[in-house]
């Protein structure tokens, strides 16, 4: 009887410790023009499951999404999945469309706040846009993420595209998206960046 009770308590403890990571992104995370199982969030899942409390990675990324689109979708995602972690990879489409940095910042701040109010921890990716948009705009855009990370005390994850765009054979012909060959490296990079945060207690 004691053994059975101990076993049940162990199962309940493991279940309570199991956590969910929600990836909220755009085409950079959605597996653009490839099978979803080839995308880096899918490849990330076994890495973090084996080395952190995360038991499931939910890829809620949609190609073409802006920060505003993500803000519209997030409440339903939080209600449906009750994630323990939300990783935000949004803003690239805002920047490519020349949206005002203040608007992007406000949307991202709301995404972070909504996630935290639901009880989730949050990490955000540093997004950068091509320099041909002008140094002033590019800097103002990049500063959004650094400022939010500091003010809202959340992890800022480096932009994986910096490595991808410089590696021959890793980009699609459109010059904007990582191809299938790049996905395993991105998954390993994201594992390395996220694990220290996913494993923090409290």
Q: What order do you get walking across the sheet with 19-25 strand by strand?
A: 54-59, 19-25, 85-89, 121-125, 156-157
Q: Can you give the pTM of this predicted structure?
A: 0.90
Q: For residue 19, list its beta bridge partners.
A: 54
In the block, tokens 């701040």 appear at 109
CA-wise closest residue to 91 among 139, 149, 28: 28
> Exactly one of 15, 50, 173, 174 is catalytic; which is it?
174
Does residue 174 have an active-site annotation? yes
Does residue 197 have an active-site annotation? no
- So what CATH class is 19-198? alpha beta
Query: What Å distances lie between residue 89 and 24, 146, 153, 163, CA to CA?
Result: 6, 14, 17, 16
CA-wise closest residue to 198 among 38, 36, 83, 73: 83
Does residue 177 have an active-site annotation? yes
> Exactly one of 13, 15, 27, 94 is catalytic; which is it?
27
Other CB atoms within 10 A of residue 63 CB: 15
Q: For residue 124, list its beta bridge partners.
A: 88, 156
Tens digit of pLDDT at every position of the chain (202 positions): 545 444 443 443 344 457 999 999 999 999 999 999 999 999 999 999 999 999 999 999 999 999 999 999 999 999 999 999 999 999 999 999 999 999 999 999 999 999 999 999 999 999 999 888 899 999 999 999 999 999 999 999 999 999 999 999 999 999 999 999 999 999 999 999 999 999 985 4
CB distance 178 to 172 below 8 Å? yes
């Amino acid at each position: 009887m004691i053994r059975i009770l101990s076993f049940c308590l162990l199962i309940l403890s493991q279940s309570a410790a199991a956590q969910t990571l929600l990836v909220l992104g755009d085409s950079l995370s959605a597996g653009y023009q490839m099978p979803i199982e080839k995308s880096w969030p899918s490849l990330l899942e076994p890495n973090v499951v084996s080395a952190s409390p995360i038991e499931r990675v939910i890829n809620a990324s949609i190609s073409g999404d802006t920060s505003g689109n993500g803000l519209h979708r997030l409440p339903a995602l939080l209600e449906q999945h009750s994630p323990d972690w939300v990783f935000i990879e949004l803003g690239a489409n805002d920047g490519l469309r020349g949206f005002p940095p203040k608007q992007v910042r406000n949307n991202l701040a709301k995404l972070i706040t909504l996630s935290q109010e639901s009880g989730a921890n949050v990490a955000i990716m540093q997004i950068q846009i091509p320099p041909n948009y002008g140094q002033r705009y590019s800097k103002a855009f990049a500063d959004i993420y650094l400022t939010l990370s500091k003010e809202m005390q959340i992890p800022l994850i480096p932009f994986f595209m910096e490595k991808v765009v410089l590696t021959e054979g890793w980009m699609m012909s459109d010059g904007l998206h990582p191809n299938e060959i790049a996905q395993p490296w991105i998954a390993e990079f994201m594992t390395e960046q996220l694990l220290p945060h996913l494993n923090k207690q409290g």
